[in-house]
């Protein structure tokens, strides 16, 4: 961030708006990764304004897509979808298949959150085709993982685990700890559902370690919440579960991940009942 700030100062001094929008966007991504969603959105909006003024459609599409991710994290699914649709239109107009695949994948996540599993799977399949055509293993592991989540939601646990294992193999090959941590968390949900809570907890602990090392608050919230849930559901240990869910609640409030708030609060309430 310090170097980006120096870059920003140079761009402003030289009256270089294109360099400035790129720099602001990169700073926003750092804030986003750190969980400062409001600060990130403010910088993305500045980038958007510059891109519109410069008629820079490619960078505008990137900005709109990143703003959509923030809106989704904050629970505004309709607002996020609207921005992703604008992003998709730009990508198709510019013949940008990589950006198109990303946009379709993110739209699929919104459809899944809204309960349209078949529509979500259709978009993920389109994204998968693009990733294989472009030889994009990172994009491929993302869409395979998301397809696995849909199969999970539909009750096909073995099919879901097969896709999660494919994702895990790609993440290990790419040395992608963030994707690997997400994969561990999702495999843990399947193991718990299949009656292996100990195996599930082991994977969640590995996910937690990765999240703390990478300073990834969103995935950390999910890991802590699931650990707390399994501790009361499968091990009847509310005392051990409470500090985990308390940290998850604190992270939700600190970083503004409102989409996760209902799930986390429900687990906290269940633990509180067992403690009384």
Which residues 6+ apart lie within 8 Å of 22 measured at CB?
Answer: 47, 59
pTM of the model: 0.82
Q: CA separation (Å) from 109 to 39, 46, 176? A: 24, 26, 21
Predicted local confidence at residue 244, as pLDDT: 98
Contact 63, 47 (CB under 8 A): yes
Predicted local confidence at residue 258, as pLDDT: 86
Predicted local confidence at residue 70, as pLDDT: 97
Q: What is the pLDDT along the chain (276 residues), one digit of tens a residue?
A: 999 999 999 999 999 999 999 999 999 999 998 989 999 999 999 999 999 999 999 999 999 999 999 999 999 999 999 999 999 999 999 999 999 999 999 999 999 999 999 999 999 999 999 999 999 999 999 999 999 999 999 999 999 999 999 999 999 999 999 999 999 999 999 999 999 999 999 999 999 999 999 999 999 999 999 999 999 999 999 999 999 999 999 999 999 888 899 999 999 999 999 998
Predicted local confidence at residue 64, as pLDDT: 99
Predicted local confidence at residue 185, as pLDDT: 97
Predicted local confidence at residue 276, as pLDDT: 81
What would the pLDDT profile of 230-268 be if each residue is shown by its tens digit?
A: 999 999 999 999 999 999 999 999 998 888 999 999 999
Predicted local confidence at residue 274, as pLDDT: 93
Structure tokens at 41: 């959105």
């Amino acid at each position: 961030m310090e170097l980006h700030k120096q870059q920003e100062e140079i761009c402003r001094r030289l009256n270089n708006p294109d360099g400035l929008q790129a720099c602001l966007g990169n700073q926003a991504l750092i804030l986003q990764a750190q969980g400062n969603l409001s600060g990130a959105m403010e910088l993305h909006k500045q980038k958007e304004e510059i891109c519109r003024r410069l008629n820079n459609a490619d960078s505008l599409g990137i900005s709109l897509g990143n703003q959509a991710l923030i809106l989704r994290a904050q629970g505004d699914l309709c607002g996020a979808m609207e921005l992703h649709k604008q992003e998709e239109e730009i990508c198709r107009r510019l013949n940008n298949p990589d950006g198109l695949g990303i946009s379709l994948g993110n739209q699929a996540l919104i459809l899944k959150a809204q309960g349209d599993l078949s529509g979500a799977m259709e978009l993920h399949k389109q994204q998968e085709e693009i990733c294989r055509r472009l030889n994009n293993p990172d994009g491929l592991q993302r869409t395979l993982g998301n397809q696995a989540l849909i199969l999970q939601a539909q009750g096909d646990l073995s099919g879901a685990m097969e896709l999660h294992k494919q994702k895990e193999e790609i993440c290990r090959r790419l040395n992608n700890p963030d994707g690997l941590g997400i994969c561990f968390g999702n495999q843990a949900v399947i193991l718990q559902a299949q009656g292996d809570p100990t195996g599930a907890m082991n994977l969640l602990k590995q996910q937690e370690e990765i999240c703390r090392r990478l300073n990834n608050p969103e995935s950390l919230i999910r890991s802590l919440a699931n650990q707390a849930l399994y501790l009361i559901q499968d091990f009847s240990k509310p005392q051990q579960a409470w500090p985990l869910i308390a940290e998850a609640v604190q992270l939700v409030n600190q970083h503004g991940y409102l989409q996760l708030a209902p799930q986390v609060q429900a687990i906290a309430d269940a633990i509180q009942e067992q403690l009384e």
